[in-house]
């Protein structure tokens, strides 16, 4: 069963008399444990699409199914609950909570979103920090670690709840080449280990080179690029 299925998905923004069609009746599906990217120039609609898949923004029309559930018309409360249960997020600016330690940042979704018991939480957080190579930095605050380390913690936070799907919006934009490669490899490793689907919105060719499926967005329309030995082709 596909993790994401979009049928005739439309997103229109209305500002006064002006209507902007950010996504124009797109159709696509994403299979479990795949590594997928949405690419396109600024304003092409890739973040909008990612926000819709992440239940942050409802579609104007069409149908969107994520991990087997129709999320087209979820209430604010239900959308939050759905995100907490099934989706992990990795942000461009890492978005760790500055007053929480590395351990507590990863613990946050288990404590504040899913209410796991204390011991179970501790085991799971350590397991994830170990998996991302941050088990020896648990008591440090975000201000005390590097950008690459922050993004590794963010990946651990995204995966800690056993999320089926991780949405990563420009996850390497603020990282140097070496660190970006490390983070991409880490996410790939996580995908292999936990069978999680990763969907990226990116400009970064290093990510595009590493993903298995790429969707190109241009002016709200979508095209699937097929991978070949020499790169991606339409």
Partner 1 sequence: MFNIFQLAARNLFRYKRRTLLTSTLITLGVVSVLLFISISGSFKALMIGQITDSMLGHIQIHKKGYLASIDSLPLNRNLTGKQIDKVVQILAEEDGIEAYSMRIKLGAMFSNFIETTNIRLNAVTPTDEMKTAPLLADRILEGEKEDLIKPGEILIPELIAIGMKVKVGDGIVLVANNKDGSVNGQNFTVRGILEGISGPGGRDGMIHIDDAKSLLRINTVEVSEITIRLKDIDKLPAVFTSLQEKLGSMKNQQGMPVFEVHTWEKISPFFNIAKMIDLMTFFIKIMLVAIVLVSIMNVMIMAVYERINEIGTISAIGTLPNKIMGLFVLEGFLMGILGTTVGTVISLISIAIMNATQISFDFGRQTGLLLSPTIGATDVVLVMVIVIVIAVLASLQPAWKAARMDPITALKHV
Q: Which residues bind partner 1 (CB under 8 A)?
A: 51, 54, 56-57, 76-77, 80-85, 87-89, 91, 93, 95, 97-100, 103-104, 107-109, 111-114, 118, 121-122, 157-158
CB of residue 96 vs partner 1: minimum separation in angstroms? Answer: 8
**Minimum Å distance from CB 110 to partner 1?**
10
CB of 122 to partner 1, least distance (A): 7
Quick one: how far is CA 116 from the chain centroid? 23
Nearer to partner 1 by C-beta: 40 or 142? 142
CB of 151 to partner 1, least distance (A): 14
Burial 115-151 (b: 16+ CB within 10 A, else e): ebeeeebeebbeebbebbebbebbeebbeebebbbbb
Residue whose CB is less far from partner 1, 66 or 87: 87
Sign of the CA dihedral running 72, 74, 80, 81: negative
Which residue, 76 or 178, is less far from partner 1 as judged by CB? 76
Q: Which two tokens mark 156?
A: 């651990």
Min dist. Cβ of residue 112 to partner 1 (A): 5
CA 210 to each of CA 33, 45, 61, 189, 232: distance values in angstroms, whole numbers, following the listed order? 14, 22, 32, 12, 11
Integer Cα distance of 186 and 202 in angstroms: 17
Largest separation between any pair of C-alpha atoms in the chain: 55
Closer CB to partner 1, 77 or 228, in the complex: 77
Residue 148's closest CA among 171, 165, 130? Answer: 171
Judged by CB, which is closer to partner 1: 196, or 214? Answer: 196
Tell me which H or E stretch contains 214. strand 213-218
Q: How far is the CB of 172 from partner 1 (least distance, A)?
A: 18
Task: State which residue, 154 or 213, has the beta carbon closest to partner 1.
Answer: 154
């Amino acid at each position: 069963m596909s993790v994401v299925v979009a049928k005739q998905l439309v997103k229109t923004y209305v500002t006064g008399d002006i209507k902007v069609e950010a996504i124009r009746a797109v159709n696509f599906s994403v299979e479990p444990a795949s590594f997928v990217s949405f690419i396109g120039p600024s304003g092409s609609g890739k973040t909008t699409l990612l926000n819709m898949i992440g239940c942050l923004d409802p579609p104007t029309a069409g149908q969107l199914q994520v991990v087997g559930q129709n999320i087209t018309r979820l209430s604010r409360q239900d959308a939050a609950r759905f995100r907490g249960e099934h989706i992990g997020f990795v942000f461009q600016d890492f978005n760790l909570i500055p007053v929480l330690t590395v351990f507590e940042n990863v613990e946050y979704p288990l404590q504040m979103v899913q209410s796991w018991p204390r011991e179970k939480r501790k085991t799971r957080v350590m397991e994830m920090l170990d998996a991302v190579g941050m088990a020896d930095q648990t008591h440090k605050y975000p201000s005390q670690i590097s950008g690459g380390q922050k993004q590794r913690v963010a990946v651990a936070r995204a995966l800690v709840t056993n999320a089926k799907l991780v949405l990563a919006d420009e996850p390497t934009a603020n990282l140097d080449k070496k660190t970006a490669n490390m983070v991409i490899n880490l996410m790939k490793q996580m995908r292999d280990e936990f069978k999680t689907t990763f969907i990226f919105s990116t400009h970064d060719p290093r990510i595009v080179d590493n993903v298995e499926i790429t969707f190109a967005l241009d002016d709200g329309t979508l095209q699937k690029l097929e991978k070949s030995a020499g790169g991606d082709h339409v």
